[in-house]
Copies of this chain bind each other. A is one copy, B any other.
Amino acid sequence: MIMESGRKLAVVFDAYGTLFDVHSVAALAETLFPGDGPELSRVWRAKHLEYSFLRTIGEQYVDFRVVAESALQYSAEKLALPLTAGARSRLMNAYFNLAPFPESLAVLQAIRKMGADLAILSNGTSEMLRKLISNAGMEGLFTHVLSADAVKKYKPDPRVYELACKAFKRPAGQIIFVSSNGWDTSGAAWYGFKTFWVNRQSVPPERLDVMPGGAGTTLEDLLDYLR
């Protein structure tokens, strides 16, 4: 797949929630805390994001793994769930081994076949991303695996998105950025990427002055958009 610029298309993916299912920890959470699994998973994810935002604004970066663990501790306290060291360890382990969405691998392979270059650009650390990629059998699919940890800021900080431009040596307008998080596609659009929003939860578009270039409900809709 060749762009007007004569270069190969570059498609950059968010990881958490986009290629990998962050709520796949909900099943374990439900086993540990019957009746409260989905809510713990939901509160944890929201708190994890909030802490990443706060630490970026307040210039208090710690890596995504540390943020995840502190958000889990807060969330359990908030819901008055007794989080033993063992339960915490099991939930963190589940988070490090998130399942990909059912269609993720096939869609990535199909886009590669179209002749595009692929990358991941994520808030997760390189170590976290390597593990997810390996578990999902996605080795060799990505030209670049980029972590916000390289700049010690989280998305939507422009310095994080800039990592993709530097890696592919091309301007933002020649990169397609794919995320299931509306705030992330908004941040990417602010930065200048072309964007595709995988609206898995069928929520309204964010009211942040920009709209995604394309949208769908699973990654399969991205294939139609690219064709």
Contact = CB atoms under 8 A, between A and B. Distances in A.
A60 B156 CA distance: 10
In terms of DSSP, what is the predominant structure of the interface of chain A?
helix
Interface string A166-193: 0000000000000000010011001100
A74 B207 contact: yes
Interface in A34-81: 50-51, 53-60, 62, 70-71, 73-74, 77-78
The oligomer's copy count stands at: 2
A158 interface: yes
Nearest to A56: B57
A2 to B, nearest CB: 31
Q: By CB atoms of chain B within 10 A, which of A155, A156, A186, A191 has the most? A: A156
A207 B71 contact: yes
Contact of A58 (B60, B156, B203): B156
B51 A204 contact: no
18 contacts: A50-B53, A53-B57, A54-B156, A54-B183, A54-B186, A57-B154, A57-B156, A58-B158, A58-B187, A59-B158, A60-B190, A60-B209, A62-B209, A70-B207, A73-B207, A74-B207, A77-B204, A78-B203
